Amino acid sequence: MGGCEHHSPIGAAIGDCKLQNEKPKWVVRRADFDRLFPVLTNRGYEIIGPTIRESAIVYDKLSSVSQLPAGWSDEQEAGTYQLRRRGDQALFGYAVGPQSWKKLLHPPVLRLWSANRSQQGFHAETEEEPSPRFAFVGVRACELRAMGIQDRVFQQGAHTDKTYRARRSQAFIIAVNCGQAGGSCFCVSMNAGPKADSGFDLALTEILEGGRHDFVVEIGSELGAEVLRQLPCREATGEDIARADRIMAETSQSMGREMDTRGIKELFYNSLEHPRWDEVASRCLTCANCTMVCPTCFCTTVEDSTDLSGDHAQRWRKWDSCFTMDFSYIHGGSVRATARSRYRQWMTHKLATWIDQFGTSGCVGCGRCITWCPVGIDITEEVRAIRVGKTEGAN
Ligand code: SF4
Ligand code: SF4
């Protein structure tokens, strides 16, 4: 079979949906899914997707569907993460791993410029390498929301980040609606999942039942329609769509955690002296893991280096964190010298001041900061504790 059996309807679907407000969906069989990768590669994309490295599911460069974590899932709780075998061959049967797509759009380490001294003097060169064209395979709804949040930070403010903008604008995004929630997930509380509702080129719902293994596919862009046209597919029936909807409903009902976000901005603005900050500081190691794994945290520092001759210099940008002592260092000392003040800064920014700064919460409920905190500090539990404290009249 060549391209999609319903070649014309896919083309028409995008125009129709604007009028009908209901998009037709399509079904790609697992047996035909392998064709997706050559289609993307032939279009010049570098494919990035989930794969297993060092006992975790991470995002890395892929050349074949066989590198996806087929038959694997993850068990997550506060401070713990473990892979386990599934009873089927689901390609996307896990929640989210330690890495987010942030590492590709907002690189952890980036050389900003280098300078060399010659007899004519110093000559500085900025980094002008062509930007990679990524195809992201397996982006979860919470991660799409996180990208939208970082868009505001890097593209929609007074200053744009050209590295982020170039990578983001070219990225082809294949979302995957979550077929199961992780133990640390609370995207429903943050209104960020488990179903991807926008921001993708294609969105998949993986269906495994009764020997069937298919993907229900939703088109999110003209480019997505073009790619789908190159795959064997059929139009989804009402039963296919109902099954996909049931999966979403079941996932929504099985969130590992929840967070009460009512009045959360005011709650945190009124809790700056809450005794819970001392309690959490007694456990927090200020290791910065929570900020490194968070898909929305964006802080960086800048470091200059020179060689011993003094003829070559470079300026690097690196991820930093509000949990490091140096991050708030100004002459004379660090503004936030204690674990109490640093944890309070992080959480108050995430859940309160971010709203005033960028118009959204800084948290999408992915649960990574809970899973990857070495001492199991749980942001949902901390919100609960602060809320209860307020109810009991604590200041
Ligand atoms: S909350 Fe956990 S992950 Fe974050 S800095 Fe403290 S110990 Fe590290
Ligand atoms: S604060 Fe935690 S749960 Fe929220 S987006 Fe960041 S890592 Fe995910």
User: Which residue's CA lies nearest to atom 5 of ligand 2?
Assistant: 363
> Which mean pLDDT values do the consecutive 10-residue runs of the chain (395 residues) have?
54 44 87 98 98 98 98 98 97 97 98 93 84 97 98 92 96 98 98 97 96 97 98 97 97 98 97 97 98 98 94 96 93 93 98 96 98 98 90 43
Q: What is the pLDDT of residue 31?
A: 97
Q: With residue 193 as reference, give the H or E element that holds it.
A: none
Q: Which atom in ligand 2 lies closest to the alpha carbon of residue 368?
A: 7
289 CA to centre of ligand 1 in angstroms: 6
User: Does residue 375 have its Cβ closer than 6 Å to ligand 1?
Assistant: yes
299 CA to centre of ligand 2 in angstroms: 15
Q: What is the dihedral of CA 317, 322, 323, 327, to 10 degrees?
A: 60
Contact 365, 70 (CB under 8 A): no
Closest CA to 364 of 255, 271, 268: 255
Q: What is the pLDDT of residue 395?
A: 41
Contact 256, 380 (CB under 8 A): no
CA distance between the termini of the chain: 68
The pair of structure tokens assigned to 64 is 């074949």
Pocket test for ligand 2, best of 261, 350, 366, 377 (most atoms within 8 A of CB): 366
Give dist(CA 112, CA 128) in Å, integer. Answer: 9
User: Does residue 373 have its Cβ closer than 6 Å to ligand 1?
Assistant: yes
93 CA to centre of ligand 2 in angstroms: 21
CB atoms under 10 Å from CB of 368, counted, come to 27
% helix, strand, coil for the chain, step of 5 = 35, 25, 40
User: Which residue's CA lies nearest to atom 4 of ligand 1?
Assistant: 290
Pocket test for ligand 1, best of 80, 280, 283, 289 (most atoms within 8 A of CB): 289
Give dist(CA 115, CA 125) in Å, integer. Answer: 6
The pair of structure tokens assigned to 249 is 């409903």
Phi, psi of 172, deg, nearest 5: -100, 125
Greatest Cα-to-Cα distance within the chain, rounded to the nearest angstrom? 74
Q: What is the pLDDT of residue 125?
A: 86
Q: E strands of the chain, at which residues? A: 25-29, 46-53, 56-61, 72-77, 80-85, 109-118, 121-126, 134-139, 172-176, 202-209, 212-219, 234-235, 300-306, 312-319, 329-330, 333-334
CB atoms under 10 Å from CB of 223, counted, come to 14
The DSSP 8-state label assigned to residue 353 in this structure reads I
Q: What is the pLDDT of residue 130?
A: 87
User: Which residue's CA lies nearest to atom 6 of ligand 2?
Assistant: 294
Give dist(CA 7, CA 168) in Å, integer. Answer: 28
Q: What is the pLDDT of residue 36?
A: 98
287 CA to centre of ligand 1 in angstroms: 5
Phi, psi of 234, deg, nearest 5: -135, 160
Q: What is the pLDDT of residue 222?
A: 97
CB atoms under 10 Å from CB of 210, counted, come to 6
Model pTM score: 0.93
Pocket test for ligand 1, best of 277, 282, 285 (most atoms within 8 A of CB): 285
Q: Which atom in ligand 2 lies closest to the alpha carbon of residue 186?
A: 3
User: Which residue's CA lies nearest to atom 1 of ligand 2?
Assistant: 363
Pocket of ligand 2 (CB under 6 A): 293-296, 350, 363-369, 379
377 CA to centre of ligand 1 in angstroms: 7
Nearest ligand, CA 289: 1
Give dist(CA 156, CA 159) in Å, integer. Answer: 8
Q: Which atom in ligand 1 lies closest to the alpha carbon of residue 287?
A: 8
The pair of structure tokens assigned to 104 is 């590709």
Q: What is the pLDDT of residue 1?
A: 46
Give dist(CA 27, CA 214) in Å, integer. Answer: 7
Contact 328, 299 (CB under 8 A): no
Q: What is the CA radius of gyration of the chain?
A: 23
User: Which residue's CA lies nearest to atom 2 of ligand 2?
Assistant: 369
Phi, psi of 152, deg, nearest 5: -65, -40
